[in-house]
A and B are shown apart, each in its own frame.
Chain A
């Protein structure tokens, strides 16, 4: 029960940090607030028993924070630009629409079975309350040691049972890094020509 209190406290902390990140006038403050929200998420991962996720979250957060601070410090003006009124209205309308759609499906719109399962009862779980009763999570836990020989069930799922997903994830990282190279090379060449 105390774990849930801690989790709720950290969620409130993350919400406040996210609000500060959106509303802060200074870009550096925004970046630091984003970092605070990310570290709060990693602490929540630890509290609910997901050390793999917490480790990845911490290291990714450190790298992205360093990158963002570097970028912000390189810029001369660190003040956030004010968006146009039309743009702001459009973004607000879009966000409101997305929230409405999510709420619609979360309360079980369209489907007879009730679309999204309730919180705490994921589709993959084997509990009787699950939306799709023959889930696979208990099978993963029971068979991972026998069938894969790996002691860490998370890695067994990532690299054996669900290796296709990991391949897709690796492809996404590869393509995004490739895109970074392409954009930066073109911009860098233009800058070099402008300076020469």
Chain B
């Protein structure tokens, strides 16, 4: 309990589970054009993994791994990537026109620019929500609340 956060049981469980949650979120986003899901749901699942780590290990411990500015940069980069996918459509016709081949139906690489857009939204939403949670956590640290309950 020296670094805040919860008990050893919670920490071990979070250690075991958070990797699987992260992989599941990325999977949901990458196969968004084949199965239910998409960039938004995947991003929220990624943010849930970050929230799990922050809650179980405490905000002070996590400030070494995952900082607010890094999340903000990733958030902005995701938004820019989505916009870039949209603007690159001008190469073949117009805004948001798919500039990649359609590929085979039900294959992972198909649907034109859809996997790229899903990836951009995954980064954007995941980093945005995780950054918002980190900002709340840092605000709580800064405003002098008791850490580690």
A binding-site residues for B, Cβ under 8 Å: 51-52, 54-56, 59-60, 62-63, 66-67, 70-71, 73-74, 145, 148-152, 154-156, 158-160, 163-164, 166-167, 170-171, 173-174, 177, 180-181, 184-185, 187-189, 191-192, 194-195
Nearest B-chain residue to A144, judged by Cβ:
B111
**Could you list some 30 contacts between A and B, CB below 8 A?**
A52-B36, A52-B41, A55-B37, A56-B40, A59-B41, A59-B44, A148-B111, A148-B114, A149-B104, A149-B105, A150-B34, A150-B112, A151-B105, A152-B38, A155-B33, A155-B111, A155-B114, A156-B111, A159-B33, A159-B118, A163-B86, A163-B96, A164-B96, A170-B79, A180-B135, A184-B135, A188-B139, A191-B143, A192-B142, A194-B144
In this assembly, does B5 line the interface, its C-beta being within 8 Å of a C-beta of chain A?
A: no
Number of residues in B with C-beta < 8 Å to the partner?
58
Q: Across the two chains, which residue of chain B brings its CB closest to A61?
A: B44
Q: A155-B32, A173-B124 are in contact. Are A149 and B131 (CB under 8 A)?
A: no
Report whether A167 and B143 are in contact in the complex, using a CB–CB cutoff of 8 Å: no
Distance in angstroms from A61 CB to nearest chain B CB is 10
Asked whether B110 lies within 8 Å of A151 as measured between CB atoms, the reply is yes
Contact between B149 and A73 (Cβ–Cβ < 8 Å)? yes
Residues of B within 8 A of A184 (CB): 135-136, 138-139
CA distance A171 to B117 in the complex (A): 14
Given known pairs A66-B51, A152-B33, A180-B132, the reply for A55 and B106 (CB within 8 Å) is no
B82 to chain A, nearest CB (A): 6
Return B99 CB to nearest CB of chain A, in Å. 12
Contact yes or no, B96 A149, CB < 8 A: no
Sample of 6 further A-B pairs with CB below 8 A, known A150-B33, A177-B131 = A60-B44, A67-B51, A149-B103, A184-B135, A185-B135, A191-B139
Query: Chain A binding site: helix, strand, loop or mixed by DSSP?
Result: helix
Residue of A nearest to B136 (CB): A184
> Which B residues are within 8 Å of any A CB, using their own CB?
28, 32-38, 40-41, 44-45, 47-48, 51, 55, 68, 72, 75-76, 79, 82-83, 86, 95-96, 98, 101-106, 110-114, 117-118, 121, 124-125, 128-129, 131-133, 135-136, 138-140, 142-145, 149
Residues of B within 8 A of A150 (CB): 33-34, 110-112, 114
CA distance A63 to B86 in the complex (A): 29
Of all chain B residues, the one with the shortest Cβ separation from A57 is: B41
The distance in angstroms between the C-alpha atoms of A173 and B76, with both chains bound, is 11
A155 to B118, CA, bound (A): 9
Contacts of A163 in B (CB 8 A): 86, 96, 117
Q: Is the beta-carbon distance between A148 and B98 smaller than 8 angstroms?
A: yes
Chain B nearest Cβ from A71, distance in angstroms: 8
Residue of A70, A158, A187 near B55 (CB, 8 A) is: A70
Judge whether A55 and B36 touch: CB under 8 Å. Answer: yes
Would A67 and B128 be within 8 Å (CB), given that A167-B86, A188-B143 are in contact? no
**Could you tell me if A167 and B131 are in contact, using CB atoms closer than 8 angstroms?**
no
Which of A67, A74, A149, A195 is most buried by chain B, counting CB atoms within 10 A of its CB? Answer: A149
Q: How far is the CB of A178 from chain B (nearest CB, A)?
A: 8
